[in-house]
Structure 1
Amino acid sequence: MQNIYSSRPHAAITAIGGYVPQGRRTNFDLEQVCDTSDEWIVKRTGIKERRILEQGLATSDMAVMAIQDLCTRYAKDIADVDAIIVATSTPDVLMPATANIIARKLGLKNVWAFDMNAACSGFLYALDMGASLVETERYKNVLIVGADNISAFVDIHDRSTNILFGDGAGVIWLEPSAEAGVMDAFMQSNGDGREFLNIEGGGSLYPTSQETPDDERRYLRQDGKVVFKQAVQSMSNACKHILDRNQLGIEQVNWLVPHQANKRIIDAVGKEINIQEEKTLTNIAYRGNTIAATIPLCIWENIKLIQKGDLLMLTAFGAGFSWGASLLRWMI
């Protein structure tokens, strides 16, 4: 009996795009609103500035501009898209899904479009799901978007968060391939991190109201020490697991693309998995933590370094806690 799975295609990334807002929030800007300094921020995070979306625009606007960038760079026809998965923690509105809004703005009438919220791990979660859609042949051209307007939820006076977060959007195009592009993924979550990293306001438990417009729950809050420790441990373990499962040594990985949360976390993960420092891609210094957008934006901004056939290992950690790692062969 013929194995029906043997002829199924692989999923490969065939295009990538990105967008970052024009507005900048520098460390010197933050010195004016809270007790901090450029030297202190750079030493603790590696961040010098972050991009901030202008008022009146939302997550969907950045996503659309990233998709348009992709289509222009790689001569892709947006009409070919049959599925859009948007990883975001900052949807335009609670409903409908931001993916639906993006489809409308792109003029797509018959497309499967939905959001996925796994915080900073969202892009990896969405990438794995999108690859599965392609591999099962249910969909042929899938856009995976990572986009967050997180500055809208940052208390500008809170030094534990205002130094870290910025806005942006990244997107990749997945389609069938005879060769393995997206090779493997390992995703985990446990729910243990709710109290340490969250935005509590705006949901069904703490809905926004006219009576409490300044409710502190509407802001992003985190316990940096707990998050730091968990992020390093979880991302390192996920990378080791996926290497072991694929019988690969770290020396075979051309590029590590970690979630851009904090330069010290990035360095600690690299040291823990014993990868050469020059093999780790970063863009955190001038972008900050853009939540679900960090990994696609980091690849997009370092694209000239990556060669066709290179082996990339992606890893992320976010609220939940949620974390994971992906392994892919670069096919562009």
Structure 2
Amino acid sequence: MSTVELSTSGTPAAVVTGIGACLPERVIKNDEIAERLDVTTDWIRERTGIEQRHVLEPGASTSDLATEAARRALESAGLDRVGFLVIATCTPDHSIPGTAPVVAARLGLGGIPAFDVNAACSGFLYALTIGAGLLAAGTYTTGLVIGAEAMSTVPDPDDRMTAPLFGDGAGAVVIRAGRPDEPGALAARLLGSDGEQADLLVVPAGGARQRVAGTVPERAEQYLQMQGRVVYRNAVARMTEASQAVMNEMGWSVEEVDWLVGHQANKRILDATAAAIGIPPERAIVNVDRVANTSAASIPLALADAAESGLLHPGDRIVLTAFGAGLTWAAAAITWPELG
């Protein structure tokens, strides 16, 4: 059964006031994995649009990326403290404890509420909506929302269908309480899920179900299992529907949308979603070729990249949309602010 929330109401609104990103220094290009997978670099490129991915060095983890991205976002916002911290991740440092309190402590923010959200690739928009709710309630005036992943740890390194797809990274935004009509305000937003199709994207082992059963997992059960063709159809359909819903709520026509920023799953999904919405390819932000699929980190990384490269300008109307395991999907509308 699907659950959906769609709203433009709520004062104060969550206004983006700073952004930061972090990618590991280690870069793995297609030719480094093609031979191991018995495929060609062209085969990877044509199916995914991916040329390379950033991967953590041994000993590093999700919290390292999240901390640095958050530090840069705070610097962008001109702040050294916020009221709360939310991390969207499906690759936490440990199953217990959550990664967010560790990141808060490393940032010198110990004592503030800090927690993780797992909505897979939709996680950043879920976390951003939760943050908006905390601000709207009047409980806090500022917050940090982070998408951070070590997705290179998820696929079987010998599985040609999943191994080329994923990379590691983190993106973060600082949000503050503000007016719903000011630049940077998170406006229309939609969240949805369909747990009846949870088996389309799943890591069977490692959780309570497998541990309670007392079974020793097979090697394949420790890695991501994905039904690619069905996932593709669901991703395009759900991101299209969600994007159109927030555009309708905002009263934006296709011509009035400056940028579509979709979850960077692969180039084919991004192209098909933009085409279904009616957004020309030149108005869809794409960096999957350089960073691969970074799950919850994908949208903030794409935003940070586009802002740094000069693609985004204050006043630009942007639709954000994502789809991931769960199944989950999300979309939001924002007018880009002037950032420091």
Change over 3 Å in CA distance of 1:22–1:7 after alignment to 2: closer
Question: Structure 2: which amino acid aligns with 1:13?
Answer: V
Change over 3 Å in CA distance of 1:284–1:7 after alignment to 2: closer
Counterpart check, 1:252 vs 2:256: yes
Selected match of 2:72 from 66, 69, 73:
69
2:123 maps to: 122
**Distance of 1:271 and 1:58 partners within structure 2:** 36
Unaligned runs of 5+ in 1: 1-5
More deviation in 262-271 or 239-248? 239-248
1:3 maps to: none
Would you say the 8 A contact 1:199–1:221 is kept in 2? yes
Would you say the 8 A contact 1:202–1:208 is kept in 2? no
More deviation in 126-135 or 111-120? 126-135
Counterpart check, 1:161 vs 2:162: yes
1:193 maps to: 197
**TM-score after normalising by structure 1:** 0.94
Instruction: Indicate the SS of the match to 2:93.
Output: coil
1:147 maps to: 148
Would you say the 8 A contact 2:165–2:292 is kept in 1? yes
Instruction: Indicate the SS of the match to 2:140.
Output: coil
Would you say the 8 A contact 2:83–2:141 is kept in 1? yes
**Distance of 1:298 and 1:157 partners within structure 2:** 28
RMSD: 1.9
**Distance of 1:211 and 1:7 partners within structure 2:** 48
Aligned pairs (5 A) from 1:87-102 = 87-102=88-103
More deviation in 42-51 or 211-220? 211-220
More deviation in 295-304 or 179-188? 179-188
Question: Structure 2: which amino acid aligns with 1:29?
Answer: E
**TM-score after normalising by structure 2:** 0.91
Change over 3 Å in CA distance of 1:81–1:269 after alignment to 2: same
Question: Structure 1: which amino acid aligns with 2:112?
Answer: V
Aligned pairs (5 A) from 1:1-332 = 8-77=11-80, 80-178=81-179, 179-180=181-182, 181-207=185-211, 212=216, 215-303=219-307, 304-332=310-338
**Distance of 2:19 and 2:141 partners within structure 1:** 16
Post-superposition CA distance 1:59-114 (Å, at most 9, x none): 1111001112223344321xx21111110001111111110111121122221100
Would you say the 8 A contact 1:82–1:110 is kept in 2? no
**Distance of 1:192 and 1:48 partners within structure 2:** 34
Would you say the 8 A contact 2:101–2:110 is kept in 1? no
How far apart are residue 209 of structure 1 and its match? Answer: 11
Instruction: Indicate the SS of the match to 1:11.
Output: strand
Post-superposition CA distance 1:33-74 (Å, at most 9, x none): 112111111111100011111111111111001112223344
2:4 maps to: none
**Distance of 2:106 and 2:66 partners within structure 1:** 10
Unaligned runs of 5+ in 2: 1-8
**Distance of 1:12 and 1:73 partners within structure 2:** 14
Instruction: Indicate the SS of the match to 1:193.
Output: helix
Instruction: Indicate the SS of the match to 1:120.
Output: helix
Question: Structure 2: which amino acid aligns with 1:135?
Answer: A
Would you say the 8 A contact 1:24–1:49 is kept in 2? yes
Question: Structure 2: which amino acid aligns with 1:159?
Answer: R
Would you say the 8 A contact 2:10–2:136 is kept in 1? no
**Distance of 1:134 and 1:251 partners within structure 2:** 31
